[in-house]
Structure 1
Amino acid sequence: MLYVVGLGPGEKKKMSLEAIEVIKKVDVIVGYTTYIRLIKELVDGKELISTGMKKEIDRCKKAIDIAKDGKDVAVISSGDAGVYGMAGLILELTSQMAEEIAVQVIPGITASIAGAALLGAPLMNDFCHISLSDLMTPWEMIEKRLNAAASADFVICLYNPRSKGRPNHLARALEIIQQYKSEDTIVGIAKDVGRKEEKVILTSIADLDETVVDMTTIVLVGNKETYISDNWMITPRGYKL
């Protein structure tokens, strides 16, 4: 069996029981080196296959080969395996094969959900996920999606918001969003969720300090009704109080 497992933010208490059970029972763990390090207490004695960044296809092909040999193997992703994780790539590869490989996707808590829980209740109304990484998606398409989401006043969860290689993507995204939302729109920032450096910041589009944002950060841009109360970010669902 080939499992694709979402680890959540990284700490054991935010992993599902199903994810923990699968990791404990499989013969082989395949994943990005950093993710394997997050679950080191669960993988003692197992065969570990790890690679660095940008080796996703190689990792998935290796996991498929191991499953073909009859071993139980888990490909791990941070967050949810089906949200910018390895589930899609595994299924794309196995769907092209002549022989059938049994695959099971094990869900995990994705960054927007984990971050929202720390910030309050920012996702109580319609929201969307947009990755600002243009490694897989052309930037022109990302801009179209930002325009569409902002014009419809979704709460927008920005994944991969800023990195050394993409230092200006967040600023450009906020410029687009401000065509439709006020600069006073509430923004929640959650950094390193579930890790020792965990931190949350409540701010606005106008006051957002981009320098605190990196690849381990999720940025949640509220809708026109989102507000702050008692240090909680709240997006009303629409109840009459």
Structure 2
Amino acid sequence: MVGLGPGDAGLLAPMARRAIERARVVVGYGTYLDLVPRELLAGKDVIETGMTGEVERCERAMAEALAGRDTVVVSGGDAGVYGMAGLVLEMLAARGCVGEVEFSVIPGIAALLGAAALLGAPLTHDFASVSLSDLLTPWEVIERRVDLAAQADFVLVLYNPRSKRRAGHLAKAVETIGKWRGPDTPVGVVRRAYRPGQEVFVTSLAGFDPGCADMLTIVIVGNSATRTAGTWMLTPRGYGRKYRL
């Protein structure tokens, strides 16, 4: 399992690069395979599936690994953060293959970390991450998590914020957060981080337009202490209360 980082090849971790270099088979979703430098795929068998082909992807990767071929499954960001590591391990366990197949996870720079870096310093205190995709998790559960995290004053990172099928989920989440946050709360939006067409901006909760987001977007909503510093987003850790800065 290899995390590719947020997009730019320069953010591909050295261990991840070495794992792909020595692999004979590379398996992934097409959008993520596009993030792999072309030279690393040369001479390898590449297995690509679509957005809802996760189980098929794992089955084919397991078959290659059981046949003795060094196989890498790639995920965007980190493979263990909304990535494929969990499903692969779950399927290995369900089929009694744990221990029969050598399994390892090589971490990557998670998408939320890439987005945070582009926004400044929004995650320097406690935060919670919630995916708004209800393909695998009931919306009622997601909405409750958003509500409780907002009530607890976590900075909120919203993954998979909006798709054509789920056009209204982000607006509902923002409305829920608004019960516990002021209208001037900074909201950071990062789309296509470290990829061509990158967009980064900071707005307010009251001024935020859910229509600006899609599945390639990370939305970060500040907590009660988050503020802007110039064009940057800043969540203070609390040093200013203890030291003279």
Tell me the TM-score normalised to structure 1 length: 0.97
Deviation at 1:230, TM superposition (A): 1.7
Show the counterpart of 1:54. 52
2 CA distance for matches of 1:108 and 1:165? 29
- The aligned amino acid for 2:71 is V
Q: Which residue number corresponds to residue 16 of structure 2?
A: 19
- The residue type paired with residue 58 of structure 1 is E
Structure 2 residue aligned with 1:35: 32
Structure 1 counterpart of 2:122, one-letter code: P
Aligned length: 238
Secondary structure at 1:158 match in 2: strand
In the superposition, the TM-score normalised over structure 2's length comes to 0.95
Matches within 5 A, 1:68-79: 68-79=66-77
1:124 Cα shift? 0.4
Amino acid at match of 1:91: L
Q: Which amino acid aligns with 1:175?
A: E
| 1:136-167 deviation line (CA, Å, top 9, x unaligned) | 10000001101110000000000000111111
Q: Distance in 2 between matches of 1:96 and 1:134?
A: 24
Unaligned runs of 5+ in 2: none
Instruction: Tell me the CA shift for residue 212 of structure 1.
Output: 1.7
1:201 aligned to 2:201?
Answer: yes
Pick the aligned partner of 1:90 from 85, 88, 101: 88
Once structures 1 and 2 are overlaid, which stretch shifts more, 6-15 or 124-133? 6-15
Task: Quickly say closer, same or farther: Cα 1:65–1:228, change in 2 above 3 A.
Answer: same
In the aligned structure 1, how far is the partner of 2:143 from the partner of 2:198?
A: 29
Q: Which runs of structure 2 are paired with 1:1-241 in the superposition (5 Å)?
A: 4-39=1-36, 40-99=38-97, 100-240=100-240, 241=245
RMSD of aligned residue pairs (Cα, Å)? 0.9
Percent identity (aligned): 51
Distance 2:204 2:230 in 1: 16
Segments of structure 1 that go 5 or more residues without pairing to the other structure are none
Deviation at 1:41, TM superposition (A): 3.2
What one-letter code is carried by the residue in structure 2 that aligns with 1:87?
A
Q: What letter is aligned with 2:235?
A: T
